Amino acid sequence: MPVGMIFQDSRFDRPDIMPDRGHLLQRSISSSTVDMVIADQVYGSDYHVDSWGPNLLKLSFIEKGAFDLEFGTRTLSTSLDRRALLIAQPEGLIKRQRNYVDAEHRCVTLIFTPRFIAETLSALQTGPQSILREFADGRVTDLHIENHVMNGQMIDCLATIVRTDLNDPLSGMLLESKVLELLYCFFRQLSSGSGGGCPPGQDAPLLRERSRLRDAKEVLDAEFRKPPSLEELGRMVGMSRTKFATSFKQEFGTTIGEYCHSLRMNHARSLTRDHSISFSEVAYQVGYEHQSSFSQAYRCFFGVTPKEDRHRRDS
């Protein structure tokens, strides 16, 4: 593994270059090597993973994740949906990530060295946040974590990467193009000072509106099988239909329909792990009247049918 990150999973005796059951792909990004870990799983038990290596920077684009991070005497509990987590980890420091049973984890993590960051920063006309320059210069002496909002373009790239069929001999071309697009979006966001999530020329929702949008999102989380209409949601939060739809996408980087569809598909995927539940019952539980329509939607979202996905997870 050229970048040099090592992982010690508490479920196994020996350290490895791969955490959990993700897939490691080494790609030449620009003129440096970047290691990529794709995680798409539901944790089957409580366990932890220690990681260490030379001076490294990790950038995780997280669609869904909940875990605790421990470093030294500090603990950080995180529940991250549609966020980019930037972690600078100096040589000799061990980071522990605690994962918990039934927690979902879908993300793409890129691991790279100071050289890559230095080359990237040299191409920018404006200086992004100081931690990157400190990292590129070898001046980071303690773990540093930043949490950034992912914009819509990043979310689309992440979804494509996670759903890519790694058995496709041409998948490397698609993955590399999407990784480059992710990095472009992230570093462009940093260099512009934008918090992400809002298209250029549009203002982010006000704080009071953001609180109401989170309330509406909680309603969708609970009622995604048969979500309220846009008009009903708008009335709940005191916004017009158009204002609510626009503000929701600005805040969360996805449309209401896409968000509900993602909830339905991911809940369906968790149900397919239970062999006692038939696929027709899974379809019914996520709001589909016909199993054929459900299977088609599932295949479009994950790239495999429910039956193929269950068989793959059992193998």
pLDDT at 137: 75
Q: Are residues 28 and 61 in the same domain?
A: yes
Please give the pLDDT value at position 29. 45
Residue 155 in any domain: the answer is yes
Residue 201 lies in a domain: no
Model confidence, pTM: 0.57
What sections of the chain are H helices per DSSP?
Answer: 114-122, 130-136, 152-163, 171-192, 207-222, 230-237, 241-252, 256-271, 279-285, 291-302, 306-314
Q: Compute CA 146 distance to the chain's CA centroid, rounded to the nearest angstrom.
A: 15
Which of 68-82, 170-184, 185-199 reaches the highest mean pLDDT?
170-184
In a domain, residue 199? The reply is no
User: Which CATH number do you get for residue 282?
Assistant: 1.10.10.60
Range of the domain at 37: 6-192
By residue count, the chain amounts to 315
pLDDT band at 112 (very low <50, low <70, confident <90, very high): confident
User: Distance between CA atoms of 76 and 292, rounded to whole angstroms?
Assistant: 43
Is 272 within a domain?
A: yes
Residue 285 lies in a domain: yes
Rounded to 5 degrees, what angle do the CA atoms 261, 263, 269 make?
A: 105
Q: What is the pLDDT of residue 296?
A: 93
How many distinct structural domains can be found in the chain? 2
